[in-house]
Structure 1
Amino acid sequence: MSDANDDTQNYALGAIAAVVALVIAGVLTLAISRSGAPKAPAAAAVAAAAPAEAALPRVYFEVDSDALPADAMDVLNRVADAARANPGAAVLISGFHDASGNPEHNADLAKRRAQAVRHALEANGVPAAQLVLDKPQQTLGGGDPREARRVELKVQ
C-alpha cells in the first residue's frame, strides 16, 4: 500500500513541478521580450514580425493625400489613451509609401502623413516629448495598395 501512495505522491509532485516550470518559462520569456533581446537577422525579423505588425494600430490615407481620414479618430483616440496612461512610453510613428512614381515625393508624403498623425495625437493630449517620428519607409509591395498609404503607431 505504501508503494501506491508513493506513486501518487510522486505523480502529484511531478505535476506541480511541471506547472512551476511552465510559469517560470513564461516569466522569463516576458522578461526577455521586454528587455530588448538581441534581434534576429533582418530577413528572419521581417518574417517573424509580420503577424505582430498586423496588430499595430494603422491609419490609412487617400491616394496622394496627407489629410487625416474621418475614420482615423478611433485609432488615434486609442493610441492617445495608451500614451497618456503610460507617460514613460514613446509613441513611434512610421509613415509608409510605395516605389511607384517619384521617390522624393512619396517619401515627403509619407513624412507629412506621419506629421499629421503626430499633430492629432498632440491635440489629443499626448506630450510632444512622447512622440517619435520614424524615417519614411517603403513598402515591399505585392499586397493591398492601402498598405503603401499607411501610418503605423507603436506605443513602446
Structure 2
Amino acid sequence: MFSQDDDSQQRVALFLVFGLVAIVVASMLVFGVFKVRSFGRTAAPAAQTALVAGPVVAAPATLSTAQAASDAASVKVEQGVVKFYFASGKADLAAGANEALADVVTGAKAGRKVAISGFHDATGNAAQNAELAKQRALVVRDALTAAGVAEAQIELKKPEQVTTTTGSDAEARRVEISLQ
C-alpha cells in the first residue's frame, strides 16, 4: 500500500521536474532564435566591410589564444578565418558570435561562398565526436542563414579529427568559417 503511494508521488515529482526542464529548454531556444534573428539589425557598419574591402578586422568579441584554448566557448577572428571554440560536449555558440559573423555575412552578400569546417578532439567515442562536430557546424550554419546568408552559398565540409600538441583538446573543438 505504501509503495503505490510512493510510486505515485515519485511519478508526479518526475513529471514536474521534466516539465520544468522542458520549459527552461524551450525558453532558451526561443531566446536564442530571437537573438540570432535580431543580429542583422545590430551589426556595426565598419566591421561589416572588413573581409570584402581589405585586411581582416577582428570583431570586438575576439579572444586571445590562451582564452580560446580554455574549455569555455569562445570566438575569434584570425587571418580572415572566424573560429568558434566550443566547450567539451556542447554545441552552443559563444557570446559575441554574431559580431564575428558580421564580416562573413557581408562577404557572402557580396557574392562570395562560405566554407564551414568542423573539427573535434580525439577524446571519447570518435563517432559521437564527429556527430557533435557536425551539430556545431550546423549551429554556425543556422546562425549564418538567420543573418541572411543563402544556404546555396554555404558549403559544409566533413568533420575532421584533430590532435593537438598543446596538451589541450579545446583547440580541436572548433568550427572555422572562411570566405572563398
Count, aligned residues: 102
How far off is 1:146 after superposition? 2.5
The within-5 A match list for 1:93-104 is 93-104=116-127
Which one-letter code corresponds to 2:177 in the other structure?
L
Query: 2:104 aligned to 50, 64, 79, which one?
Result: 79
| Alignment match, 1:153 | 177
| Alignment match, 1:140 | 163
Q: Which consecutive residues of structure 2, in runs of 5 or more, have no partner in the other structure?
A: 1-77
Query: 1:68 aligned to 87, 93, 113, which one?
Result: 93
| Alignment match, 2:115 | 92
**Does the CA-based 8 Å contact 2:130-2:159 persist in structure 1?**
yes
Per-residue displacement from partner, 1:64-117 (whole Å, max 9, x unpaired)? 1111111222221221111112x2x21110010011100001000000000000
Where 2:123 maps in the other structure, the secondary structure is coil
Give the root-mean-square deviation of aligned CA atoms: 1.6
Q: TM-score, normalised by structure 2?
A: 0.53
Pick closer, same or farther for the CA change 1:71–1:145 going to 2, 3 Å: farther
**Does the CA-based 8 Å contact 1:62-1:69 persist in structure 2?**
no
Q: Which consecutive residues of structure 1, in runs of 5 or more, have no partner in the other structure?
A: 1-53
Greater helix fraction, Structure 1 or Structure 2 = 1
Which one-letter code corresponds to 2:100 in the other structure?
V
Identity of aligned pairs, percent? 46
**Does the CA-based 8 Å contact 1:60-1:151 persist in structure 2?**
yes
**Does the CA-based 8 Å contact 2:113-2:153 persist in structure 1?**
yes
Which one-letter code corresponds to 1:120 in the other structure?
A
Which one-letter code corresponds to 1:154 in the other structure?
S
CA distance in 2 between partners of 1:90 and 1:58 (Å)? 17
How far off is 1:145 after superposition? 3.0
CA distance in 2 between partners of 1:57 and 1:116 (Å)? 14
